[in-house]
Structure 1
Amino acid sequence: MRTKMKISMLLLMVILLSVGSIAGIAGAEQEKKTIILGTSADYMPYEFHKTIDGVDTIVGFDIEIAKEIAKDLGAELVIKDTSFDALLPELTSGRVDFVISGMNPTEERRKSIDFSIPYYRAEQSIVVRKEDQEKYSTMESLEGARIGVQKASVQEGIAANIPNAQVTSLDKIPDLLLQLDTGRVDAVIAEYPIANANMDIETMAITDAKPVSENDEYAVGVRKGNEELLNSINQTLERLVQNDLVQKYVDEAGDLAAGRVKEELNTFEFFWKYRDYYLKGIQFTLLISALGVFFGFILGLVLALMRMSGISILKFLSTAYIEVFRGTPMLVQLFIIHYSLPAFDIKFTPIQSGILTLSLNSAAYLAEIFRAGIQGVDRGQLEAARSLGMSRVAAMRHIVLPQAFKAVLPAIGNEFIVIIKESSIVSFIGVFDLMYQSQILRGSTFAPLNPLLVAAIIYFILTFTLSKLMGVLERRLSASDHR
């Protein structure tokens, strides 16, 4: 009986394992691979943000082309939005699989990445304020003018060839048009579809001047050596061009772009209408700031103790760390962590890179704050504790550090406030924080000021609240001083 029972149990286990294996194989076969697109969705009608059925969606004819590429590969398309000048680092570091963002296959870019066959050609245009339309009607009339162009674009090369031109290069087209609207530049060089879709037709116009560029074609970028993906993309592009689908996508994207209406909203109305964007941004800002503060606090305390120790190597390492991180811009540190470390096969997600950068940078400043607080405590207290039999660690923990912490609490609170504000730099690597959401709204609406004004108010509320909480904590800790 027991033998039969054992055999039955063995057979049951074999059946269950077989079924599990078959299910796992079937699940693996059904699991769809993904392909990541890198783009800068501020280039209407190529790629831009638009609210569709209440959901923020990246649309445009470049996006439609990317969808066809993914479909032919049998993959699910994942879109990663970032600034234009960050696209090449995103691609070369392996964070995205291919790039479509109205990018010209220049010789300089070909040194870093490979390009597909061209899929579209567009003419360049000059955008000016309406009152200057006749003044800048030829390319010769732009000599000595203040010219706005998108950073790392073919238009930057065109502007560089205009004699005595004062060139302003920015990341975003809306920022360039705002520069034009406020009189900081005299003209903006942009492609005709971009200019026509983004400019305010009430105050701006396209002149008769016709810029000429050596390379006005657009192509898809892939990492060097990825021949399989490049060949598949070329096949898709050939099909789309032959069937006139690219022009169809251009027309459809133009219709979507034309659907934008300039809204006259006050700041509160603007916030309320787009509150979902800001609420999402607040969540990311608080998450990154809180974790940056937490890890920075711990690391800063360790660095302070290392610097004050009698061990030469620890003192040297902590001093070198503090000097390096205090002496270099946080944005540079962010780019090194996010884009350079992948060369050593060390990859972080944008959120992880942001938290790591904030933690490492703030730790350098907090270390000096802690050191000043510890040195401010009378050394005789440590000696008295040691004479009573307490170890050095116990004396530091129970006597010195509590007093030091109370003394430097205002400085610590100030550093925490700085971290919340400085967290806005993570928008450069595509983290959906408060500043990133503001940039999305600036690109998807005609509002130049309200998106930033709302963000500024929210940052103020966050920092003001933290300041008051730190004040309450400071008063509680110092209550014993008045007894």
Structure 2
Amino acid sequence: MNRLKSLAVLFAVTLGLVALSGCKQTDVLVIEKSADAQHARIGVMTGSTSEAIATQQFPQAHIQSFDNVADAFGALKSGQLDAIITAYSTSLLLVRRNPDLRLLDERLSIEDTAIAVHKGNTELLTAVDKVISDLKAEGAFQSMSRRWFKTGPGPYEQIDVPLPDTGAPLRVGVSATREPFSFVDENGRVSGHDGDLARLIAQRLNRPVEFHDMKFLALIPALQSGKIDMIVTGMTATDQRRKFVDFTQPYYANSQVMMVRNWAAGVGPAAAEPGFWDGLKESIESNILAENRYLLLWEGLKVTFIISVLSTLFGTALGGVVCFMRMARSPLLQVPARIFISVLRGIPVVVLLMLIFYVVFASVNISPVLVAVVAFGLNFAAYAAEIFRTGIEGIETGQTEAGLAMGFSRKKTFRLVILPQMVRRILPVYKGEVISIVKMTSIVGYIAVLDLTKASDIIRARTFDAFFPLVLVAVLYFLMSYMLIVLMDWAEHRTDPRRKTRKVSAT
């Protein structure tokens, strides 16, 4: 009954959040030209050139950095920002889909977009440069610009690029939340201008292509560590980036512009909003049903569940070993266990994840999902070891002495007397750590894993609905956590020795 009440409360809260997502603040600075934004709240994408432009040209403004444009867009729509600085092609797409936004006429900068390769890899750099030169001479870039950088509505014009099935794959790093440069289409493949470009380059080099979709900030570390061969995702060839990677010749000149609310057109505060149920229906259609996006959510949900469960199992087993070492009398066992626990509890999980992927396994061809399981499992083990130790030390020493007096060995005493009591004592805290693992998996997008949060990012990058996908994913995370808690409660009930005693008494 209590669980039904919890689900009812969750449903009510969800409806409230969706309703609130339609509420918009109107106390926003009106910007008619870039000079009006000197004291504005400006959103940029972390690690992008727009971040540098905002800092240099608007030193008195409040700059807020986001992982992707969709997050900044949501902040602008809700009134948390006054403006966004981003690429013209992306801004044009946003304005076309959202009449309550507009672009300022000014160009804040014009930059060369190029392909990044590992520093010193002159062979690949020369080969890709030649392909770009050939594509320019053949007019391929004009064709791609016409198909992807559209100024009007309508579907994109897709082309088929035949690729070989054998050979060493060309590993291409992308941030597929940057439509129309790179995004995940209805078939679940990386598409867009740079998706086509990567396939054309792979075709000319007679190699299959393998896309690695990750957060923009993680692209250069992935290239430096050898996890990918090149970056093709609308990246500007800045002097700072040239210190770490090599760039090909430019293939596109992209301008940075400022996007603001379209108050002057009368679309802003006085705009009529759809009703709650109509808005909910529209959100479900565009975010879940359109282009079979529920399949993307399903894949992300499966990956999140797999990582959570395997990390918990691995971390529990390793935590038991570390606990044994931590409680041993020998310093040769105790000191390493203390160091392990201190280091793993002191390192943020996202840093640990990237260190393991880009440093420890830099030269190893290993599944990012397996790396995530190892990273989260190590983190879980550090906390589980201390939970186990506290549970064991909380049991009176007389329990062990009683077991030994009855003729049990120390191992049998621990298994039959100490362990069952320890499990009952630690379960509340242990369950909390399991739920923490589920929530921590939301960062695996940094190593190109399609989890539930990454699926939400991909959907938001296509629909530019900043709220509904987040609310939906929050509900899915809750349901997954709730299911795991129910499962652990059932296991606790089944293994409770008092249950057997009650059964015997009843008979």
Instruction: Using structure 2 for the length normalisation, give the TM-score.
Output: 0.64
Work out the CA distance in 1 between the residues paired with 2:424 and 2:26. 61
Instruction: Point out the more displaced range, 135-144 or 351-360.
Output: 135-144
In structure 1, give the amino acid aligned to 2:59.
P
CA distance in 1, matches of 2:483, 2:155: 37
- SS, match of residue 109 in structure 2: coil
Whole-Å Cα distance in 2 between the matches of residues 314 and 257 of structure 1? 68
CA-to-partner distance for each residue in 1:312-360, whole Å, 9 max, x for gaps?
Answer: 12111111111221122111111111112245x3553211111011100
Q: Residues 295 and 391 of structure 1: is their aligned pair in 2 closer, same or farther, counting only changes over 3 Å? A: same
Cα separation, partners in 2 of 1:456 and 1:224, compared to 1, 3 Å: same
1:478 and 1:287 map into 2 onto residues whose CA distance is 28
Q: Report the Cα distance in structure 1 between the residues aligned to 2:382 and 2:391, rounded to whole angstroms.
A: 15
Provide the residue aligned with 1:198 in structure 2.
94
Q: Alpha carbons of 1:249 and 1:271: their partners in 2 closer, same or farther (altered >3 Å)?
A: closer
Of 292, 303, 310 in structure 1, the residue corresponding to residue 329 of structure 2 is 310
Q: What is the one-letter code of the residue matched to 2:392?
A: I
Contact map agreement 2:27 2:79 (CA 8 A) in 1: no
Count of residues paired in the alignment: 351
2:121 and 2:152 mapped to 1: Cα distance?
34
- The correspondence of residues 117-132 of structure 1 with structure 2, limited to 5 A, is none
Distance 1:461 1:242, change over 3 A: same
Q: Is 1:163 matched up with 2:59? A: yes
Q: Deviations over 1:345-388 (max 9, x none)?
A: 35532111110111000111111111111112221222233344
Residue 137 of structure 1 deviates from its aligned partner by: 3.6
Supply the distance in 2 between the matched residues of 1:327 and 1:177 (Cα, whole angstroms).
34
Could you say which residue in structure 2 is the equivalent of 1:185? 81
Structure 1 pair 357–210 and aligned structure 2 pair: CA distance change class (3 A): same
1:331 to 350, 360, 365: 350
Whether contact under 8 Å (1:130, 1:203) holds in the other structure is no
Q: Distance in 1 between matches of 2:361 and 2:353?
A: 13
What is the alpha-carbon distance in structure 1 between the residues aligned to residue 444 and residue 28 of structure 2?
Answer: 38
Aligned positions of 1:129-278 closer than 5 A: 135-161=30-56, 162-199=58-95, 200-212=97-109, 216-255=111-150, 258-259=153-154, 264-266=279-281, 269=285, 270-271=287-288, 274-278=293-297
Assess if the C-alpha contact under 8 Å between 2:74 and 2:465 holds in 1: no
In structure 2, the residue matched to 1:458 is 476
Q: Residue 341 and residue 399 in structure 1: after superposition, are their counterparts in 2 closer, same or farther (change >3 A)?
A: same
1:406 alignment partner AA: R
**Which runs of 5 or more structure 1 residues have no equivalent in the other structure?**
1-128
Matches within 5 A, 1:67-106: none
Residue 319 (structure 1) aligned with residue 338 (structure 2): yes
Superposition RMSD on alpha carbons, in Å?
2.7
Give the counterpart letter for 1:308 in structure 2. Answer: M
Structure 2: distance between partners of 1:436 and 1:321? 30
Q: Structure 1's 272 and 136: CA in aligned 2 closer, same or farther, altered over 3 A?
A: closer
Partner SS state of residue 408, structure 1? helix
- Contact 1:148–1:168 at 8 Å: present in 2 too? yes
- Distance change (3 Å), C-alpha of 1:457 and 1:370: same
* Corresponding residue SS for 2:84: strand
Where relative contact order (Cα < 8 A, 6+ residues apart) is larger, the structure is: 2
Q: CA deviation at 1:219?
A: 0.8
Q: What letter corresponds to residue 91 of structure 2 in structure 1?
A: A
Could you tell which deviates more after superposition, 435-444 or 391-400? 391-400
Verify: 1:393 aligned to 2:290, yes or no: no
**2:31 partner amino acid:** Y
Matched, 1:351 2:369: yes
Cα 1:310/1:258, change in 2 over 3 Å: farther
1:444 is the counterpart of 2:462: yes
Indicate if the aligned counterparts of 1:271 and 1:454 stay in contact, CA closer than 8 A.
Answer: no
Contact 1:174 1:198 in 2 (8 A): no
Deviation at 1:260, TM superposition (A): 6.9
Contact 1:337–1:357, Cα closer than 8 Å, also in 2: yes
Among residues 269, 291, 300, which one is paired with 2:319 in the alignment?
A: 300
Q: How far apart are the structure 1 equivalents of 2:119 and 2:316?
A: 42
Q: Are the aligned partners of 1:138 and 1:210 in contact in 2 as well (CA < 8 Å)?
A: no
Question: For structure 1, which segment, 169-178 or 397-406, has the greater mean C-alpha deviation from structure 2 after superposition?
Answer: 397-406
Q: In the alignment, what sits opposite 1:110? A: none
Q: Deviations over 1:147-204 (max 9, x none)?
A: 1111111111111112312111112111111111112221111221110013343110
- Aligned residue type for 1:202: P
Structure 2 counterparts to residues 61-72 of structure 1, below 5 A: none
Closer, same or farther: CA 130–475 of 1 in aligned 2, 3 Å? closer
Rounded Cα–Cα distance in structure 2 between residues aligned with 1:403 and 1:183: 54
Tell me the secondary structure at the aligned position of residue 65 of structure 2: strand
Residue type at the aligned position of 2:423: F
Say whether the 8 Å CA contact 1:410–1:474 is kept in structure 2. Answer: no
SS in 2 for 1:454: helix
1:459, 1:470 → 2: CA distance? 17
